[in-house]
Amino acid sequence: MAYLMIGSGQAGGAIVDSLFKYKYMNLIADPILINSTAKDLHNIKNIPDRNNWYGISQTHGLVSGKTQGFEEKVVGGFGKNPVRANDVLEQRYQSILDMFDERFKSKTHRKAVDAETEETNEKSDIPFAFLFFGLGGGTGCGISPIIAKALKEYTNNKVNIIAVGVLPATRRNIVKSNQTEDESSDRQAWNANYGIMRLKDVVSGFIIVDNQRISFESNMESMYLSYNDYIATCIADLISGLILERIDPKQYPELNPPVIDMNDVVTALSFDHKGKGREPGFATIGRACSITCDLLNYIIPLNKNKKIDTLMLARLAAKKQSLANINLNECEKNLALIRAPPHYLKKSEIRINTRGIEEFMVKNSTLNECHLGVSLTKRNLVSLTTLFTFEKDKIQRLNEISRLAQSYEEKSKNLANIEA
């Protein structure tokens, strides 16, 4: 298994579900869905196997989806209170380790050193894990730090965890009846800050998805499905390489494109500060694509392919980033993955200008660090998936979240100081 995909809470589970709409995703990834409401799990379409479902409740703790009476035991949620969710799972920390052991015990090799010594365990190889969660509610940002900590312990600190967190929109509408501000956004901001601060020491990097990007819709909830699909497509592009389309690169020996692997992704998402260890960066993700032939070519195959304007593709991907109000001039490092049909890498008249994309990315990197890769596709399109990584204090939205969180904390005497 190359990847572990954990969907924590409603938002996280929805994105993982979108990922597994890809036919061959199960060949490279193993899904786990954890939720405090069984109803949310029943809304899952692409991961119907209950072996991949887990509930979390204040009464029963972690509950396997195979458990009889699962629906009755996993109800109620945590009322957008991540501290309560954290406390419930923290008290049952061993159950998370047991869950990992149960899932991967067929891949766990136990070797007795001798009759009088303890067993030494070679844990299942989980090199990379994606942890998806919402940052505005209770379950996702409450239990995700505990899950990440347990996964680190289970793998003897060998796993690289990439956190994919969904920021709440902070619209702060004015209630006309009494002209007071709606403080729900402040509470959600506090939740988001709580989750980020507790995860930053156990993950390799953050990819931030911002619901502010769709907050202009009068019915924002109607956009969630398509937004989840967009993010899932970006992630699938990064991790799938040739696998999801079953392409054998040996069929194209004349091509030798630069390759992006998950270690490149981890490097692009983190900072190595003077040999003192890695710290997670905060990245935004985006994708743009262009079809390679006109509609007429689908009706009458003329074998005519369009030349792709790569600079336009790069600019469009930059505009479609998952974070609102970013300044690319403050980006520290980045990554770009191009997917194109093979003939776009070898025919001179339509050949992709990879150098132009690399120059655009390097220009938007204060460290002049760009990780560039090219992958093949059978589809009639060229796509560009990008990551732009920042230091936390260089992201306007995260600073806004911190300010709102502090404001809410000052108003509420019952909340501990997160920064402390």
Q: Confirm if 349 and 307 have CB atoms less than 8 A apart.
A: yes
| 147/131 Cα distance (integer angstroms) | 9
- Which residues make beta-bridge pairs with 289? 383
What's the pLDDT score for residue 413?
64
Q: Which amino acid is at 413?
A: K
Instruction: Give 418 or 308, the one with higher predicted confidence.
Output: 308
Strand partners, 163: 131, 206
pLDDT over 70 at 300, yes or no = no
The CA distance from 104 to 352, in Å, is 42
Q: Is the pLDDT assigned to residue 111 strictly greater than 70? A: no
* Mean pLDDT along residues 294-314: 73
Q: What's the pLDDT at 122?
A: 47
| Contacts of 173 by beta carbon, 8 Å cutoff, 6+ apart | 182
- What is the reported pLDDT for 131? 98
For the segment 122-156, what is each residue's pLDDT rounded down to a tens digit?
455 789 999 999 999 999 999 999 999 999 999 99
Write out the H or E segment, with its range, that includes residue 248.
none
User: What is the per-residue pLDDT for 404?
Assistant: 92
Q: What DSSP element (H or E) covers 334?
A: strand 333-340
CATH architecture of residue range(s) 284-390: 2-Layer Sandwich (3.30)
CA–CA dist 147, 195 (Å, integer): 12
Convert the pLDDT of each residue in 99-109 to its tens digit: 999 998 755 43
> Can you tell me the distance from the alpha carbon of 63 to that of 131, in angstroms, rounded to the nearest whole number?
19
What is the arithmetic mean of pLDDT over 56-75? 92
**Is the predicted pLDDT of residue 266 greater than 80, yes or no?**
yes
**What are the pLDDT digits (tens) for 205-253?**
999 999 999 887 667 788 899 999 999 999 999 887 656 666 766 777 7
Instruction: Give the pLDDT confidence score for residue 303 in this predicted structure.
Output: 60
Average pLDDT of span 39-47? 95
For residue 412, what are the contacts with CB-CB under 8 A and spacing of at least 6? Answer: none
Lowest mean pLDDT among 44-53, 126-135, 292-301, 380-389: 292-301
* Helices of type H across 70-205: 70-73, 82-91, 93-104, 139-154, 184-199
Range with the lowest mean pLDDT among 171-175, 304-308, 363-367?
Answer: 171-175
pLDDT of the residue at 275: 64
Tokens of 171: 């619209």
Containing 29, the helix (H) or strand (E) segment is strand 29-35
Greater pLDDT, 111 or 386: 386
All structural domains of the chain with their residue ranges: 3-108+119-239+396-411, 284-390
The stretch 276-297 carries a mean pLDDT of: 84
Structure tokens at 348: 């001179």
pTM score above 0.75: yes
Q: Is the pLDDT of residue 260 over 60?
A: yes
CATH number of 3-108+119-239+396-411: 3.40.50.1440
Buried b (16+ CB within 10 A) or exposed e, 5-22: bbbbbbbbbbbbbbbbeb
pLDDT of residue 112: 34
Instruction: Output the CA–CA distances (angstroms, integers) from residue 390 to 10, 268, 281, 366, in the order listed.
Output: 27, 10, 6, 10
Band (345; pLDDT cuts 50, 70, 90): confident
Lowest mean pLDDT among 93-102, 175-184, 409-418: 175-184
Distance separating alpha carbons of residues 160 and 148, to the nearest angstrom: 10
List all residues 6 or more positions away from 106 whose beta carbon is below 8 Å from its beta carbon.
Answer: none
Mean pLDDT throughout 180-199?
A: 83
Would the pLDDT of 120 be above 70? no
pLDDT, residue 199, reads: 96
Query: Is a pLDDT exceeding 70 seen at residue 298?
Result: no
pLDDT of residue 244: 63
Q: Average pLDDT, whole number, for the chain?
A: 86
Average pLDDT over residues 396-419: 80
Grade residue 41 by pLDDT with cuts at 50, 70 and 90: very high
Extract the tokens encoding 350: 């339509």
| Partner residues linked to 278 by β-bridges | 272
Give percent above pLDDT 90 in the chain.
61
**Alpha carbons 213 and 352: distance in angstroms, whole number:** 30
SS3 (DSSP) at 164: strand
